[in-house]
Amino acid sequence: MSKNEHYTVSPEDNGARLDAFIRAAQHELSRSQAQKLIDERMVNVNGMLQSKNYKLKAGDIVSVTIPKPVSLDVVPEATSLDIVYEDADVIVVNKPKGMVVHPAAGNYSGTLVNALLYHCGDSLSGINGVARPGIVHRIDKDTSGLLMVAKNDYAHNFLAQQIKEHSFLREYEAVVYGTLKDDEGTINAPIGRHPVHRKKMAVTEKNSKNAVTHYRVIARYNGFTHIRVKLETGRTHQIRVHMAYIGHPVAGDELYGPAKVIQELQGQCLHARCLGFVHPVTKEWLQFETELPEYFTAFLSKINRG
């Protein structure tokens, strides 16, 4: 059943934007969720619909209808998870290469979300909808490594804010084609949808967002370089796009690498090795690291032998 809430605008909130006011009144909602309620005509001011940037006046009556949650129809599946950390608010999982994070067209089972639903039951945030419960950030199907999941809406909003403010630590290791000349560097180039290939992202000025990637060389091999990468922003395919942009695509990358793919890697040689964030409740800094997976170390051994 839908829930109706009514608020009287105080003198202190005079001039506040409608979406910001709702976000403050409904602590479990994000700003984007508040805007969505306005767009879906679930909010009125003094009985009239208003835009999200409407400036409120003291004494206005704001009415908000919170719709009934949609029943989740993604099926829980008893899949083994490599759990690095878990408490009542967050869970950190080491995702294997080849596992899709959440259900989508063509992948309705075998995903991380299916496994999380079995493991956590109802204890996952619902902010990202019925297909992505708990998912605050993603890594690609063929990227392995650490992923943080929220077990309630408060934790989700708190963690998402850290991502937005770039205070969330994400470090990766990768093997890229070619020999990087500099021992370290920064790639600052905006990323948006590829103008022709809709499944790809690209460095482009059109309809793009700023993207910053820092890298450091760990070792150089014949035709390849092993690097550590730190994300300042978190755009779709960011590391893969940026490394290809500077002429050093990630080894095994079928989308951004050379046409002749390294089949033994079964996707890009990219591992999310380190994750750090402030805990939503304790406010402690938590940081986790994982060992490189077998596919990665086996490839390093191969290229090291020449």
User: How many angstroms separate the Cα of 220 from the Cα of each of 176, 301, 306?
Assistant: 10, 12, 11
DSSP structure class, residue 104 = B
In angstroms, rounded to a whole number, what is the distance separating the alpha carbons of residues 88 and 119? 13
Closest by CA position to 191, among listed 179, 203, 205:
203
User: How many angstroms separate the Cα of 272 from the Cα of each of 143, 174, 256, 275, 290?
Assistant: 7, 9, 19, 8, 8
Provide the 10 A C-beta neighbour count for residue 175.
Answer: 25
Q: Which contacts qualify for 21-30: CB closer than 8 Å, 24 or more apart?
A: 21/56, 21/62, 22/62, 22/64, 25/62, 25/64, 26/64, 26/66, 27/154, 28/153, 28/154, 28/157, 29/157, 30/127, 30/157, 30/160
140 as an active site residue: the answer is: yes
Name the active-site residue from 140, 142, 153, 253: 140
Q: What is 75-87 written as a DSSP string?
A: PP------EEEE-
Is there a contact between 147 and 91 (Cβ–Cβ < 8 Å)?
no
Residue corresponding to tokens 């994982």: 290
What SS3 class is residue 93?
strand
What SS3 class is residue 273?
strand
Positions annotated as catalytic residues are 140
